[in-house]
Amino acid sequence: MTIRFYVQDITLLSKLEIRFSSVDGMTTHLGWSLSRWKMSRGWNEVMVPIKSLTANGAESIDNTMVSIQVSVTGTGGAIVFDSIYVNRPSKAAVIFRFDDGWTTQYTKAFPILKSYGYVGTVGVISNYVGTTGYATLAQLLELQSFGWEIFNHTANHPDLTTVDPGLIRSEIDGCRQWMNQNGFRSASDIVAYPYGSFNQDVLDAMQGYKLGLSTQAELELAPPVSPLTLKTLTINNDTENSVYEAAVNQAVETGSTLIILLHRIEDSGTDEMIYHADKFAAMVDFLAGKSIEVSTFSEWLL
Ligand SMILES: [Zn+2]
């Protein structure tokens, strides 16, 4: 089931609840709720596995539902509903998103994904390419030749919300220009905000860009309702396997897309940005047992 709604002011809301009932008067129902911290300002699209609805009384998904009740709690503010629909045909997908263009994305992640016939995407910081710890131009071109996609992660990786609004554009345009000049045209207009950080000035500066990648977690559907704040699941050194397993299972059940963000793939180390290669291999192996497609951003948008 997919619910699409618009939130005007997130700070005034507390919770959204939807109930479905097979009887008049809602004496029994199946319920679902979403708290504020899982919503974003603007358009939201939330994929709910039908079996995760909570039964109240002797209600069952096998019954024919005759009424829907929507309740919004908070101190004010409005939620505008666009649609609730079920069985929309869509395929489950995963996009591996590697930010910053670290060398180990080429030396460690690439061989693991390649052995499964999978591809990834790399967010390149154009002024860091070929410097210590970062992949070289030749390595990025090789990834691209194997079907990987290189996307824009700015020229110098500043927190864009702290940059003079007049200079935000030079960060994203600078990277795009470098990418276009070096053969990475397919996703030079797809931008990952450094530190996942954006505000209205940043969104205004994205005029003419196709996608903006946030670090807020949840699933997506193509085409996305809020293309400039695409959601992502961030995987850190201490992320439990159960976190991505649950997200992958939810994507499979709802036919939605999970973007998985990783940074450095290394054999050891405790830095939060490091994810151990053996754990990454286990993640990829888990995916291989699922009915889910591994995609790049531009394939996914087609
Ligand atoms: Zn980054």
Tell me: pLDDT of 87 over 70.
no
- Please count the structural domains in the chain: 2
100 CA to centre of ligand 1 in angstroms: 5
**Gap between the Cα atoms of 50 and 250, Å rounded:** 10
54 CA to centre of ligand 1 in angstroms: 38
Q: Residue 246 has what pLDDT?
A: 95
Q: Do residues 203 and 287 both lie within one domain? A: yes
Q: Is the pLDDT higher at 61 or at 163? A: 163
Q: What is the residue whose two structure tokens read 């994203």?
A: 172
pTM of the model: 0.82
Q: Do residues 99 and 62 both lie within one domain? A: no
Q: Do residues 165 and 220 both lie within one domain? A: yes
Q: Do residues 278 and 160 both lie within one domain? A: yes
CB neighbours of residue 223 within 10 Å: 9
Q: Do residues 138 and 252 both lie within one domain? A: yes
102 CA to centre of ligand 1 in angstroms: 10
Average pLDDT taken over every residue of the chain: 92
At residue 229's C-alpha, the angle toward residues 257 and 261, to 5°, is 55
157 CA to centre of ligand 1 in angstroms: 6
Q: Do residues 280 and 153 both lie within one domain? A: yes
CATH code of the domain in which 205 resides = 3.20.20.370
List pLDDT tens digits, range 1-55.
Answer: 888 888 888 888 889 999 999 998 889 999 999 888 888 888 888 888 777 789 9
Q: What are phi and psi of 174, to 5 degrees?
A: -60, -45
Q: Which range (80-84, 154-158, 277-281) has the least confidence? A: 80-84
Q: Do residues 169 and 291 both lie within one domain? A: yes
DSSP assignment, residue 118? Answer: -
Residue 300: name the closest of 143, 146, 119, 139 by CA.
119
Q: Do residues 212 and 117 both lie within one domain? A: yes
Q: What is the residue whose two structure tokens read 């209205």?
A: 200
Q: Do residues 141 and 231 both lie within one domain? A: yes
If pLDDT is split at 50, 70 and 90, which confidence band does 89 have?
A: low
- Of 65, 85, 105, the residue that ends a domain is 85
Q: Do residues 180 and 46 both lie within one domain? A: no
Q: Do residues 219 and 240 both lie within one domain? A: yes
- Average pLDDT value for residue range 146-174: 97
Domain extent at residue 242: 93-301
Q: What is the residue whose two structure tokens read 């290189």?
A: 150
- Of 59, 85, 111, the residue that ends a domain is 85
Nearby residues for ligand 1 (ion, Cβ within 5 Å): 99-100, 194
- Average pLDDT value for residue range 121-150: 98
- Of 32, 50, 85, the residue that ends a domain is 85
239 CA to centre of ligand 1 in angstroms: 18
CB neighbours of residue 296 within 10 Å: 22
